[in-house]
Amino acid sequence: MNPLPTFRLLAVRIALALTLLAALIVYPTVGRPATVGLLMGGIAGTLVFWVTARQLEKLAMQTDNALYSVPVKWRLAGLAVYAVVLVRGYTLDREGLTGLVAACAGLFAIRVAVVLLGVTGLDLPKEEDN
């Protein structure tokens, strides 16, 4: 199997699992606004990663020698999703800012998943013993 889709799928699964686990821990300790912000940030970060990774897979599969790049509209759409999540996180708790801080933490869940994959190599094919 192609390593790019394997990496993308495993990174998304790990990020969503980390987000859900963190939300289960945050809800009884910090409260509802932080939990909602964390879930919004985690899902939004994972969604933007998914779209970006799919675009990069298409670039990697190009067969001719033409120069292609990821369209700017996808990067701008990703930044717009981040902005919407951060603004909504701010409106969850305007005084304590727990929603905003949790939304920021949620946006980094996919980065933690990618680093975890890079360190452990879980997405790499297993070597066969001869």
Instruction: Tell me whether residue 17 is in a domain.
Output: yes
Instruction: Tell me whether residue 127 is in a domain.
Output: no
Q: For 98-126, how does the pLDDT look when each residue is reduced to its tens digit (9 = 90+)?
A: 999 999 999 999 999 999 988 888 777 77
Instruction: Tell me whether residue 10 is in a domain.
Output: yes
Instruction: Tell me whether residue 38 is in a domain.
Output: yes
Average pLDDT over residues 11-29: 94
Which residues, other chains included, contact 52 with Cβ-Cβ below 8 Å and sequence gap of 6+?
Answer: 70, 74, 75, 78
Instruction: Tell me whether residue 74 is in a domain.
Output: yes
Query: In this structure, what are the phi and psi dihedrals at residue 64, rounded to the nearest 5 degrees?
Result: -85, 175
pTM for this one? 0.84
Tokens of 59: 């670039």
| pLDDT for res 63 | 67
> How many independent structural domains does the chain possess?
1
| pLDDT for res 69 | 64
**Alpha-carbon separation of residue 120 from 21, 38, 65 (angstroms):** 20, 25, 34
Q: For 51-95, how does the pLDDT look when each residue is reduced to its tens digit (9 = 90+)?
A: 988 888 877 777 666 666 667 788 899 999 999 999 999 999 888
Dihedral over Cα of 55, 102, 15, 115: its sign: positive
